[in-house]
Amino acid sequence: MQTTRIMAAVANVWRQPRTLPIDTSAIANAGLQAWLAQLSDAETVKLERENRIVTQALFNDVFLVERFVDGWAYGYVASQRDDHHLQGYPGWIWAAQLSTVPLPIQTGPTVTIRRGFTPLLKADGRTLLRLSLGTELPVIGSKDHRYYTVQTPLGVAKVAKRATQFGFKTANLTRGATLVRLGETFLDLRYLWGGISAYGFDCSGFVYSLHRCVGIQLPRDAQDQIDKGVAVEREAAQPGDLCFFAHDHGQGAVHHVALYAGDGWILHAPTPGKHVTYLQLATTYLQDELVAIKRNW
């Protein structure tokens, strides 16, 4: 197994080592904005139906490569391990999005990007990439009052310190309330099947990414997330708890997860073609499919 790191801003992890013509710009290292701009809502629905993308990996994430085939790499996103994927989440990544250069071993602090997007800068201030929420980087210098110096697959770079802080005051917030406050900064963002980045989320990718930003590691998928945390009764639910929903009035397989926002409201990434939104649980069919509430914070 070869250890590599993601050197694209966000790398899609594909089910098969191929893309459609419409996906050409989806394997660009600079980001996904060009690809998403050409996807209609109907095409985002098709993305789910065909299950072309299984997850995403963020810049600097470790990807363990099992084999290279025709410009593709099959392996595992090491930060997305769960009981079913002990090595990490499996899939295919376009090999040009991977760095095989070993990085110096870092035992010091790391920082996490807590804004939607922020530039990764060269020493002279030029932009290398636009990093997404959740990106984690090792710090090798912090004396500058505005920037951290960080080690990356593209070499030594810098990132604004304020980008590693929440864009709102957290002094009087629980970690659960912080999750909700961070989540609502993405209201109206279009759902993206497999998404864990600020370009778009699916339901479990949304809660996975928010928890990552408060230092809590969750499994990638709702079916595995439900096994984590402490069970909470509905009347005791607090903002930041996770609500899980299952088919057949709660008797079947888990199919959705949402963030409880308080007063009977949930915040979630609903389905393809929809956008991140608030929903009053009592007004929707999901009320009958609620199977568990879990707290991880």
Q: Annotated catalytic, 268? A: yes
Structure tokens at 29: 């290292």
Q: Let me know how long the chain is.
A: 297
DSSP 36: H
The 10 Å Cβ neighbour count of residue 151 is 19
- Composition of the chain by helix, strand, coil, percent to 5: 25, 35, 40
Catalytically annotated residue among 213, 247, 256, 275: 256
Active-site residue, from 145, 255, 268, 275: 268
The two tokens of residue 224 are 């595995």
* Residues 256 and 268: beta-carbon distance below 8 Å: yes
Is 249 considered catalytic here? Answer: no
Residues in Cβ contact with 2 at an 8 Å cutoff, skipping those fewer than 6 apart: 64, 65, 75, 100
Distance CA(241)–CA(236), nearest Å, equals 10
CA distance 235 to 23: 45
* From 84, 145, 203, 249, the catalytic residue: 203
Q: What is the Cα–Cα distance from 259 to 148, expressed in whole angstroms? A: 32
Tracing tokens 């419409």 back to the chain, one arrives at 22
Q: 155 CB contacts (<8 Å, ≥6 apart)? A: none
Q: Which residues are catalytic?
A: 203, 256, 268
